[in-house]
Amino acid sequence: MTNNTTKNSQPIATSENTVFVTVAAYQDYESVTAGLRKSAADYGVSLIFYDTDEKWHNFYCNKIERLHEHLTRLRGTGTEFVFFLDSRDTAFIEPRDMILAKFNAINDGRMIFNQDVLGKIWPSHNDSLAHAIEEATGSKYTRLNSGMYVGNIETILKIQELAIELRRELKEGCPRSGILKTLYQEIGSQHCDDDQHLYQICLSYHPELIRIDSEKELFAVLMSYPQNIRECSGNPERHDVINNAAIVHSPWLSCNQAEWNEWVFQNRWER
């Protein structure tokens, strides 16, 4: 390890070479993203909002295809690392410098995704895909959640390009061998416009480029509204234990957007 690399010999993420981005393709994006923006202001995180006031098409178009175009423009700007967060249902619970320190501690060069809390892979609930991921990774933690991820910008762009190609193969009915062919036989092109489904398939093919934050060292999903966020820490009996996470995600709680924003605004999450 040198002053410029982590213990895993990876470049160190700093405030100068790291960006935090989100897609806010909502006509009322300021209202929808109020919780995320408030937590970012509280913890000193500067956010890039893409596609504000633009039309929402689908998860693939907005969160892979269009986001890939945006991130490609960051090449040559000094950006080495990208944190992506969903705009309507995520919140920072620690300062930017602590977030970067936690990422540097676990960064091994792979793209790191949040882990979902559902019992089965969503949205496909497909056992073949779950088995393929488990075989590829050697881990029972197969429930990749695409609401939060981080990685080297070149790795992220590479995975997005793979996802675009996998979707094309499903749409055209010419899937490559392996799990993609199995999925096409079992469910056709269902869910091919869902970014989470495509990233799960990418993981099954390239575990050397993607991993899931199964220990919740950086990201965590919440399934309830704790009065104190830290009551979720260190209690393995809790379904929504957050361990050491610095950013949280609530894909289910935020179905009630006003309630989620209110909860974010009322909390400070001191340690």
* 252 is a domain residue: yes
* 131 is a domain residue: no
Query: Which structural domain, as residue segments, surrounds residue 152?
Result: 18-119+142-162+212-266
Q: Distance between CA atoms of 52 and 36, rounded to whole angstroms?
A: 14
Q: If you average pLDDT over residues 228-246, what whole number do you get?
A: 62
CATH number at residue 245: 3.90.550.10
pLDDT tens-digit series, residues 1-31: 556 788 778 999 999 999 999 999 988 888 8
* 154 is a domain residue: yes
pLDDT at 130: 95
Q: If you average pLDDT over residues 240-249, what whole number do you get?
A: 84
Average pLDDT, the chain: 89
pLDDT at 47: 97
pLDDT at 227: 60
Q: Distance between CA atoms of 242 and 257, rounded to whole angstroms?
A: 21
**Is a pLDDT exceeding 60 seen at residue 232?**
no
Q: What's the domain count of the chain?
A: 1
| Per-residue confidence band for 166, with pLDDT thresholds at 50, 70 and 90 | very high
pLDDT tens-digit series, residues 168-200: 999 999 999 999 999 999 999 999 999 999 999
**Entry pTM:** 0.92
**Is a pLDDT exceeding 80 seen at residue 139?**
yes
* 242 is a domain residue: yes
* 89 is a domain residue: yes
Q: Distance between CA atoms of 246 and 243, rounded to whole angstroms?
A: 9
**Is a pLDDT exceeding 70 seen at residue 154?**
yes
* Among 37-51, 112-126, 220-234, the least confident range: 220-234
pLDDT tens-digit series, residues 124-133: 999 999 999 9
pLDDT at 229: 59
Q: Nearest CA to 249 among 56, 33, 92?
A: 92
Q: Which residue has the higher pLDDT, 254 or 12?
A: 12
- The percentage of residues in the chain with a pLDDT greater than 90, rounded to a whole number, is 70
pLDDT at 174: 97
| Per-residue confidence band for 267, with pLDDT thresholds at 50, 70 and 90 | low
* 196 is a domain residue: no
* 3 is a domain residue: no
* Among 81-90, 96-105, 114-123, the least confident range: 114-123
**Is a pLDDT exceeding 50 seen at residue 162?**
yes
| Per-residue confidence band for 233, with pLDDT thresholds at 50, 70 and 90 | low
* 97 is a domain residue: yes
